[in-house]
Amino acid sequence: MRLSRYFLPVLKETPSEAQIVSHRLMLRAGMIRQQAAGIYSWLPLGYRVLRRIEAIVHQEQERAGHIPLLMPTLQPADLWRESGRYDDYGQEMLRIQDRHKRDLLYGPTNEEMITDIFRAHVNSYKDLPLTLYHIQWKFRDEIRPRFGVMRGREFLMKDGYNFDVDKDAALHAYNRHMVAYLRTYERMGLTAIPMRAASGPIGGDNTHEFLVLAQTGESEVFYDDRVTALKLGDRAVDFDNRAEVADICGEFTSLYARTDETHDAALFDAIPEAHRKVGRGIEVGQIFYFGTKYSEAMGATVVTADGSRVPVEMGSHGIGVSRLLGAIIEASHDERGIIWPEGVTPYHAGIVNLKQGDAAADGACEGLYAALAAKGLTALYDDRDERAGAKFATMDLIGLPWRITVGPRGLANGVVELTSRRTGESEELSPEAAVERLAEIYANW
Ligand code: 5CA
C-alpha cells in the first residue's frame, strides 16, 4: 500500500477522552473511531490488525479440530426464555422489537442458539464429539464502557461450544480449548496466563480466564511468577490424545494463578516469597465447562451406545477478539507509539523514502515494494512529499516492526537501512539483502 493513496487519519493531538495508552494510541494511529459510547468503526489500519487476529484464532481452532460456522447477531427472545436467561440477564441485554412486535435481542453470547442448532440436527452419540465456533459481533450494554475496544458495548468475540457424550469427553474438550488458546495468544506475542476464575452468568463451576499482565488491567491477579516463563512454543500436539492434552494443561495450571474472585490467601502465602506476585491483568479469554445446564433446559439429547437418551454435555469458550488489539498494545508500546509483534502487524514492513521525487530513491523504493510482495510480504510505502522526521514519526506511531529507509546518500553506496522498531537498531544492507532478511524473520511467523 502506498501511503499517499491510503486512508490513515493519524491524530497529532493526544485525545483527552482516552485514559489508557492502548486507547490513546489506537485513536492517534487512526485505527478506530468512536461512533457512540462503546461502539466503534474500524478504520483501515485497525481493521487489518483485527483480521490478522481473526485469522490466527481460526487457524488454531481448526488445528484443534473445531468447526467454524456463523450465527446471526440478532436472536429470538423465545430461545432465551427456554433457558431462563431472558429474565436473568438483566440490563446488559439489548432488547429489540421488530415490526410484528416479536421480541429479539442482540446476542451477548450464543449458548441458547447453538443448543437449538444442535438439537435440530444431532441425535446420536455417533456424531460426537462436536465443537462448533464462530467469530461474531456481540452486544453487552455495559454500564461503564471504557478504555476503547477493551470494554466496548459492541465487540467481536470468538465463541465456541463443545458437545460431548459424557463428562470425561467434555473435560477433554475444555482442555483442548486451553491448549489451543495458549498457542493462539503466543502467536500474538502475548503471555496469557490461565487463571482459575468465577463463572458469572454463563454458569458451571469449572472455568479459567486467560489474563495478560498489565497495570491497566481491570482484574486483580495473584500468581506465582514462575508461571510467566512457561511457553507452549511450536511443540506438536495431538489434540485427540486426552492424556497428552491434559498433561499440558497440568503444566500450565499447577502453579498458583487466580483472580480476586477465586483468590485463596492460605494457598497464596505458601508460595516462596520471591515468586509471590500481586498485579493486574486483562482478560482476553475464558473457558467454561457447564455440563447439562443448557441441554437439559432446552431438550438437547443424544442416544448413547446402550440405547438410552441423555442430555448432551457442554462447555463454552470465548476469546475477546477486538479486546486483543488493546491488550497487545498495552503489552507492546513505547513513548513513540505501538510496537506490533510480527504475528499481527498490519504490514510486514514500512518503506520510508527520504527524498520523494529523486529518481534513484523512487526507483529503489518501487523495487523493494515489488521484491517484498514477491516474497509474500506486505509493505506500507510512505511515498508522501513530507519531511523525513514526519515520516519516521508516523511509522513509529503505527508500529510496524521493521522499517526500510531509502535515501540518495545510502543508495550511492548501494545500501538501504533496515531498522527494528522494538530495539531501534539499524543495519545497512543492499536492498536485496534487506528483503532476504525480512523473509527470514517472517519465515517463523
Ligand atoms: N459464552 C462465553 C464463552 S464463549 C462467554 O461469553 N464468555 S465471556 O463472557 O467470558 O466472554 C468472552 C471474552 O470476551 C472475554 O474473556 C473477554 O475477553 C471478551 N469480552 C467480554 N466482554 C467484553 C467487552 N465488553 N468488550 C470487549 N471484550 C469483551
What distance in angstroms lies between residue 385's CA and the mean position of ligand 1's atoms? Answer: 44
For residue 429, the SS3 value is strand
Handedness of CA 307, 79, 106, 18 (dihedral sign): negative
Q: What is the pLDDT of the chain when averaged over all its residues?
A: 97
Task: Note the residue count of the chain.
Answer: 445
What distance in angstroms lies between residue 305's CA and the mean position of ligand 1's atoms? Answer: 36
Residues in contact with ligand 1 by the CB-under-6-Å rule are 109, 140, 142, 151-152, 155, 157, 159, 202, 283-286, 288, 316-318, 320, 322-323
Q: Which of 71, 114, 106 is nearest to 89 (CA)?
A: 106
The pLDDT, as a whole number, for residue 163 is 98
| Residue whose entry in the numeric block shows the C-alpha cell 465443537 | 131
How much of the chain is helix, strand and coil, in % rounded to 5? Answer: 40, 30, 35
Ligand 1, atom nearest to 285 Cα: 16
pLDDT over 80 (residue 20): yes
Best of 286, 290, 294 to mutate for ligand 1, by most ligand atoms within 8 A of CB? 286
For the segment 89-103, what is each residue's pLDDT rounded down to a tens digit? 999 999 999 999 999
What distance in angstroms lies between residue 159's CA and the mean position of ligand 1's atoms? Answer: 9
What distance in angstroms lies between residue 421's CA and the mean position of ligand 1's atoms? Answer: 31
Q: How confident is the model at residue 333 (pLDDT cuts 50, 70, 90)?
A: very high
What distance in angstroms lies between residue 23's CA and the mean position of ligand 1's atoms? Answer: 18
Closest Cα to atom 5 of ligand 1: 318
The Cα 220–Cα 191 span in angstroms is 16
Closest Cα to atom 29 of ligand 1: 320
Ligand 1, atom nearest to 108 Cα: 6
For the segment 133-172, what is each residue's pLDDT rounded down to a tens digit? 999 999 999 999 999 999 999 999 999 999 999 999 999 9
pLDDT over 90 (residue 14): no
The three grid cell numbers given for residue 15, joined into one nine-digit string: 485525545
For the segment 110-137, what is each residue's pLDDT rounded down to a tens digit? 999 999 999 999 999 999 999 999 999 9
Closest Cα to atom 20 of ligand 1: 320
Best of 34, 135, 323, 325 to mutate for ligand 1, by most ligand atoms within 8 A of CB? 323
What share of the chain in percent tops pLDDT 70? Answer: 100
Distances (CA, A) of 222 to 278, 280, 323, 357: 5, 8, 22, 57
What distance in angstroms lies between residue 167's CA and the mean position of ligand 1's atoms? Answer: 24
What distance in angstroms lies between residue 171's CA and the mean position of ligand 1's atoms? Answer: 21
| DSSP code string of 291-309 | ETHHHHHHT-EEE-TTS-E
Q: How confident is the model at residue 201 (pLDDT cuts 50, 70, 90)?
A: confident
The Cα 67–Cα 128 span in angstroms is 13
pLDDT over 80 (residue 204): no
For the segment 43-72, what is each residue's pLDDT rounded down to a tens digit? 999 999 999 999 999 999 999 999 999 999
- H-assigned helices in 399-430: 408-412
